[in-house]
Amino acid sequence: MNLLFVCTANISRSFLAERLFKQKIEGLLLDDVFSASAGVFGMPGRTADPVMVAHLEDAGIGPVEHESTQLEKEHIDWADLILVMEWAHREKIETSWPESIDKVELLGKYITNDDNEEEILDPYGRSSFHYRVALSQIQMAIDGLIRRRVLV
């Protein structure tokens, strides 16, 4: 199974989701599940948001090295499931690659068990509170995703 996490610039949320997902999968010893991340407006060569990196390191995930990746057709073709943070990301992907419609979901769908697709808002440039909210939402969503889609 190939999972692709997507946000705006691939320097905060999608990169965080990919890191958390990889950490959980390694702990479960699953060797047939892969993940990647990209941004609908990626900034190739730009490093991760240092505030998000600090939050990851506080959560015991580090050291963290990451460079933004621009979302390309190759990512869309590779992915079995594309998990976006906002409705705008979903719309951008589905407009650019209509064949992807059936495999794009909001990651926030996995925060709860009721399938409501919630957005995970961008904390970039905002307060530490906003980063903690995004981190908590993504952690809960990753746990739900693994429970509901990966370990089935």
Catalytic residue ranges = 7, 13, 122
Helix axes 50-58, 13-28, angle to 10 degrees: 30
Edge-first strand listing for the sheet containing 81-84:
34-39, 2-7, 81-84, 104-106
Q: Name the token pair of 15.
A: 């990169």
* Residue 104 backbone phi and psi in degrees, to 5: -105, 130
Check the CA dihedral 46-50-54-59 and report its sign.
negative
Q: Is 8 buried (19+), middle (13-18) or exposed (0-12) by CB count in 10 A?
A: buried
